[in-house]
Amino acid sequence: MKSRVLLAVVATAGVAVFALSFVRGWLVHDREVRGEGYRFVELLVDAWREPAVPAVSAAVVLALVVGIAAGVSSSGRARVPSWVLLAGSVAALAVMAASAFPISQDGHASSVDVSIGPLLAVGIVLATLMVVAAAVLARPGRTAIVALAVAAMLLVAGGAAGRWWGLQLAEGTGRHWSEGSYVRQATEGEPTERMTIGGERVTIGDRWQGTWEWSGWTVVIDDDPACPESRGTYHAHGVGDDDLRFVMVVDTCQEGARAADLQTGIWEREE
């Protein structure tokens, strides 16, 4: 009777985690967008939406599988070893714990913060209940306890690090240009010109050149012999896969002549 009660606890908790996974509130996704003023967006996400995927969703699937296995054992149709239930419950709890660590990415144009939501806290409580019930069933020895604890710590550390790295890759640097040559065809009174970016310098036809600095999508042209006292700042937007479009932030070089040149048309990447 006691075993069936414990199996029912594991099964109920596992199914409850899965049922709650479709409700928003597992993670809090905050984004601050800078540029033309400041905009702040806060989202509560469920277990099947970025940035909860893949960590939170994997933990939910683990909890559900363990819950189903416990239900099968409780019904008497088949017997699932108690150590399997314990290992699965510990894995689910560890991945949820890894998902609870706050992560962030600070770019030039935006900042993202991901933190624990109320339903993830509930999921952790339910997963802990599964671990306790499964542990009473399995009665693991000291060696097994140490092995499970080490495995759980590795999952927590690896999961937290993987989530942070995944966020950095997903958000990117905001840089849309690469070193090499771009060509802008003659348009709107501006001639065909080639722009070459190499190292820390840029040349634009025979008219402009100077140092090239960047942070995210913002690029800065400085020390141009045509206007050594004018520093030009632009947003370099990606167009398609490789091309560029410039939007001026500020540039007083030759009363706006350099800005007009750069902002006119699309700069197409040369192979």
- Do 165 and 214 sit in the same domain of this protein? no
Statement to judge: residues 154 and 122 lie in one domain: yes
Q: How many CB atoms lie within 10 A of CB 265?
A: 18
Clarify whether residues 15 and 134 are in a common domain. Answer: yes
Residue 193 and residue 165 in one domain: no
Query: pLDDT grade, residue 173 (50/70/90)?
Result: confident
Mean residue pLDDT of the chain comes to: 92
Q: What angle do CA 114, 119, 125 make, to 5 degrees?
A: 115
Query: Residues 203, 246: one domain?
Result: yes
| Cα 11 to Cα 24: distance, rounded to the nearest angstrom | 23
* 127 and 239 housed in the same domain: no
Q: Are residues 190 and 167 in the same domain?
A: no
Same domain for 196 and 73: no
For tokens 């192979």, name the residue. 271
Q: Domain limits at 227?
A: 180-269
More confident residue, 216 or 180: 180
Please check whether residue 29 is in contact with residue 112, taking contact to mean a CB–CB distance below 8 angstroms.
Answer: yes
Residue 151 pLDDT class (50, 70, 90 cuts): very high
Domain boundary among 122, 153, 171: 171
Q: How many structural domains does the chain have?
A: 2
Instruction: Tell me: do 118 and 190 sit in the same domain.
Output: no
Nearest of 199, 205, 193 to residue 179 by alpha carbon? 199
Question: In this predicted structure, what is the pLDDT of residue 34?
Answer: 65
Domain stops at, among 171, 206, 230: 171
Share of the chain above pLDDT 70, in %: 96
Q: Which of 143, 171, 199 is the last residue of a domain?
A: 171
Same domain? For 237 and 152 the reply is no
**Beta-bridge mates of residue 244:** 238, 267
Alpha carbon distance 85, 41 (integer Å)? 40
199-210: pLDDT as tens digits: 899 999 999 999
pLDDT (0 to 100) of residue 158: 96
pLDDT of amino acid 111: 84
Based on the domain organization, do 69 and 193 belong to the same domain? Answer: no
DSSP for residue 188: T
- Pick the more confident residue, 161 or 33: 161
Q: What is the pLDDT of residue 271?
A: 76
Whether 240 and 112 share a structural domain: no
How high is the pLDDT of residue 175?
83
- Report the pLDDT value the prediction gives residue 37, as an integer from 0 to 100: 60
Q: Are the CB atoms for 132 and 5 separated by under 8 Å?
A: no
